[in-house]
Amino acid sequence: MEPLKSGSTIGILGGGQLGRMLAMAAAQLGYRCVGYAPEGDNVAAPVSAAFLTRAWEDRAALARFAAECEAVTWEFENVPVTALDAIPAEKLFPPRRALEVAQDRLEEKRFVEALGGRTAPFATVDTPNDLARAIESIGIPGILKTRREGYDGKGQWRIASAGDRDLLSSLRQPAIYEGLVEFEAEFSVILVRGRDDEVRFWDSPRNAHVGGILDRSLFPAGAAIGAQSEAARDLAKKVADALGYIGVLTLEFFATGDGPVFNEMAPRVHNSGHWTIEGAATSQFENHIRAVAGLPLGDTRSVARTVEMINLIGDAAADAHNHLTGGDTHLHLYGKAEAREGRKMGHVTRLER
Ligand code: AMP
């Protein structure tokens, strides 16, 4: 397929900050973006050429949206896969299957295991008995996670003692129980795969989480991550190839004494890749758009010696402009109306080149 001509329209399903940053990158390359998401604080809307506020179930609106676009992508992992049925497969990047696999923690783990990846020990939990059995075989402590729709630590409960299994009575969804992994550090592999199957990787940052939410991404990432990122990249490439993936794909890992342990994947640009806007020759957002549009991929090389990407969560964004007095410091605010607890309001990237 020919690359999209400048002036072509790229559709983005979802209206959050990832869509906002994708739309800005697309505009730079001469494309117009049309967003689509249900009612909400759709911060991608003000930077998009057009934005449709419609339900995921509105097939007619989705079909109109698809007809207006030369290519369609998503920025939100929980777009119902049924909504994708209204988009012709040849216009959709990445492919539907990538979203399907990533939306279910069980399917995702099985998929990655089948390709030779290591995961935390896990068991499916649908009933209180399942949890008792899982705890017996895997042990305590562990984490109970809903199979679907969990993100940023939501839909997760630490199980520290056998008494905690009562939690299940309040759980209304299929879940998995995972053994707690002892890790030295957490890191992510972010890659981009083009329409010609070429794969490029960004350097892997060390990711520090607080309360299940990404707090910071850092370089230098440290020796443990440096030693394990190659093996993690090999696995990530296998995943991307197996899915026929096009666009940016993220896999999150624990660096352990026995090598990388896969935690989860995101079939999209990722918070731990925000540093690439200033810290790499080409950002994850630009390369995602390049891949979707069928353009040559950009250089993913890091251009800074040290990087600190700090998320501004909830109230932390209130005095955000104070960050502007730093030297090579870059502030990104997402334009969200309300600073709720745990809500990602923006980020700051500090570099030393
Ligand atoms: P997740 O939503 O699965 O990415 O989990 C959010 C964060 O919780 C991870 O980045 C880890 O810091 C922690 N976490 C999740 N699962 C495990 C596990 N099996 N062992 C240790 N820490 C975990």
CATH of the domain at 233: 3.30.470.20
- For residue 169, the model assigns a pLDDT of 67
pLDDT score for 220: 98
Closest CA to 22 of 310, 273, 344, 321: 273
**Same structural domain for residues 306 and 211?**
yes
> Is the same domain home to 141 and 265?
no
CA dist 232 and 252 (Å) reads: 9
Question: 258: exposed, middle or buried (C-beta count within 10 Å: 0-12, 13-18, 19+)?
Answer: exposed
Neighbouring C-alpha atoms within 13 Å toward the C-beta of 27: 14
- 183 alpha carbon to ligand 1 midpoint, in Å? 10
Distance 96 CA to ligand 1 centre (A): 25
Residue 236 CA to residue 49 CA, distance in Å, equals 34
Tell me, yes or no, whether 161 and 237 share the same domain.
Answer: no
Q: How far is the CA of 209 from the centre of ligand 1 (A)?
A: 9
Q: Would you give the DSSP letter of residue 302?
A: B
DSSP output for 145-161: EESSS--TTTTEEEE-S
Distance 272 CA to ligand 1 centre (A): 14
- Residue 154 confidence (pLDDT): 76
144 and 293: one domain?
A: no
User: Which stretches of the chain score pLDDT less than 50?
Assistant: none
The burial of 115, by beta-carbon neighbours within 10 Å (0-12 exposed, 13-18 middle, 19 or more buried), is given as middle
Q: What is the number of H-type helices and E-type strands within the chain?
A: 9, 17
Question: Residues 26-75: pLDDT tens digits?
Answer: 999 999 999 999 999 999 999 999 999 999 999 999 999 999 999 999 99
Which domain, by its residues, includes 265? 185-352
Answer yes or no: is 262 within a domain.
yes
Regarding whether 143 and 20 lie in a shared domain, the answer is: no
φ, ψ of residue 231 to 5 degrees: the values are -65, -40
The closest residue, in CA terms, to atom 7 on ligand 1 is: 212
Nearest CA to ligand 1 atom 19: 180
By most ligand atoms within 8 Å of CB, the mutation choice from 206, 263, 272, 311 for ligand 1 is: 263
pLDDT of res. 149: 85
Instruction: For residue 299, report the distance from its CA to the centre of ligand 1, in Å.
Output: 31
Going from the Cα of 298 to the center of ligand 1, the distance in angstroms, rounded, reads 31
Please identify, by atom number, the ligand 1 atom nearest to the C-alpha of residue 214: 10
| Residue 283 sits in the same domain as residue 347 | yes
CATH classification at residue 45: 3.40.50.20
Kindly give the number of the ligand 1 atom that is closest to the alpha carbon of 207: 10
Question: Quick one: which atom of ligand 1 is closest to the CA of 252?
Answer: 4
pLDDT value of residue 256: 98
User: Is the residue at 98 inside a domain?
Assistant: no
Q: Which residues does ligand 1 sit against, CB inside 6 Å? A: 120, 143, 150, 153, 178, 180-181, 186, 209, 212, 252, 263-264
Q: Whose CA is nearest to atom 9 of ligand 1?
A: 212
41 CA from centroid of ligand 1 (Å): 27
Provide the CATH number for the domain around residue 174.
Answer: 3.30.1490.20
d(CA 16, CA 157): 26
Q: How far is the CA of 121 from the centre of ligand 1 (A)?
A: 13
Distance of CA 252 to the CA centre of its chain: 9
* 125, 143, 256: residue to mutate for ligand 1 pocket, most atoms within 8 A of CB: 143
Q: Structure pTM?
A: 0.96
Residues 286 and 323 occupy one common structural domain: yes
Q: Is residue 108 part of a domain?
A: no
Q: Token digits for 336? A: 């969200």
| 353 C-alpha to ligand 1 centroid (Å) | 32
- Phi and psi, residue 277, nearest 5°: -60, -45
Helix axes 284-293, 17-28, angle to 10 degrees: 70
Examine the domain organization and report whether 232 and 332 are in the same domain: yes
Cβ atoms 241, 314 nearer than 8 A: no
Instruction: Judge contact between 223 and 255, C-beta under 8 A.
Output: no
Kindly give the number of the ligand 1 atom that is closest to the alpha carbon of 105. Answer: 3
Report the domain count for the chain: 3
